[in-house]
Chains A and B, each alone.
Chain A
Amino acid sequence: KAGVTQTPRYLIKTRGQQVTLSCSPISGHRSVSWYQQTPGQGLQFLFEYFSETQRNKGNFPGRFSGRQFSNSRSEMNVSTLELGDSALYLCASSLQLQETQYFGPGTRLLVL
């Protein structure tokens, strides 16, 4: 089975722009979660989707949003980018909400 895929792998944006990141889960997995990882804050949970519904949400401003499609693929969007949004964004999928999460390779976002 193919693993979790994320696109793009690398991205450079400037302050004020917006960005959309994509995640394709492992085939058959219905839950997708997003995390932000920075050297200073570590791994922080953004949100989790299951069957196209947001089930959990972390403590991030409204500039961060996401959605999940009927094929379980997910996108996250960050509007009005700030320098502090520079991070590795990781997507993870699991069969069900309570099961093991498997991560993708991440998208490295640099905001200039």
Chain B
Amino acid sequence: AQKITQTQPGMFVQEKEAVTLDCTYDTSDPSYGLFWYKQPSSGEMIFLIYQGSYDQQNATEGRYSLNFQKARKSANLVISASQLGDSAMYFCAMRARNTGNQFYFGTGTSLTVIP
């Protein structure tokens, strides 16, 4: 069975500082994808970044980067230069071929950026 674990229910970061949100996963499939989504209080889930299991380099999208450590099965999200608008829930997700590519989400981390 697939499993996504986010151990940080809540995080605080000072504006303009970097923050790392943790995510570990468990799968027996060698082919899988890892995703991070942001959910502001409005409710809409916003796609941030994607990492494929066969990708050699860590994914980056603007201020977002994914620290992918395959042997440790971790896919941490790094947000650089935090902004007040980054305050939101962040969800890590995975889909794997051997489970019909169904998405599995973690429980989320609530990030608060302090001015």
A interface, by DSSP: helix, strand, loop or mixed? strand
Residues of A within 8 A of B (CB): 33, 35, 42-43, 45, 48, 55-56, 88, 90, 92, 97-98, 100-106, 108
Assess whether A105 is in contact with B105, with CB atoms less than 8 Å apart.
no
Nearest A residue to B52 by beta-carbon distance?
Answer: A98
| A35 and B39 alpha carbons, distance in the complex (Å) | 14
Q: Contacting A103 at CB < 8 Å: which of B44, B50, B101, B102?
A: B44
With contact pairs A42-B105, A43-B105, A103-B37 given, residues A55 and B100 touching in the complex (Cβ less than 8 Å): yes
Assess whether A102 is in contact with B97, with CB atoms less than 8 Å apart.
no
Assess whether A98 is in contact with B45, with CB atoms less than 8 Å apart.
no
Assess whether A98 is in contact with B95, with CB atoms less than 8 Å apart.
yes
Nearest B residue to A97 by beta-carbon distance?
Answer: B101
| A63 and B41 alpha carbons, distance in the complex (Å) | 29
With contact pairs A43-B91, A98-B33, A100-B35 given, residues A56 and B102 touching in the complex (Cβ less than 8 Å): yes
| A33 and B35 alpha carbons, distance in the complex (Å) | 16
Question: B31-76: which residues lie under 8 A (CB-CB) from chain A?
Answer: 33, 35, 37, 42-47, 50
Q: Mark B63-97, 1 if CB is under 8 A from A, else 0.
A: 00000000000000000000000000001000101
With contact pairs A43-B91, A45-B103 given, residues A100 and B44 touching in the complex (Cβ less than 8 Å): no
Nearest A residue to B49 by beta-carbon distance?
Answer: A100
Assess whether A108 is in contact with B43, with CB atoms less than 8 Å apart.
yes
With contact pairs A100-B35, A103-B46 given, residues A45 and B95 touching in the complex (Cβ less than 8 Å): no
B5 beta carbon closer than 8 Å to chain A: no
Assess whether B44 is in contact with A104, with CB atoms less than 8 Å apart.
yes
Assess whether A98 is in contact with B44, with CB atoms less than 8 Å apart.
no
Report B-chain residues with C-beta under 8 Å of the C-beta of A108: 43
Assess whether A101 is in contact with B43, with CB atoms less than 8 Å apart.
no
| A48 and B107 alpha carbons, distance in the complex (Å) | 20
Assess whether A98 is in contact with B97, with CB atoms less than 8 Å apart.
yes
Assess whether A88 is in contact with B102, with CB atoms less than 8 Å apart.
no
Assess whether B43 is in contact with A106, with CB atoms less than 8 Å apart.
yes
Nearest B residue to A106 by beta-carbon distance?
Answer: B43
Assess whether A33 is in contact with B42, with CB atoms less than 8 Å apart.
no
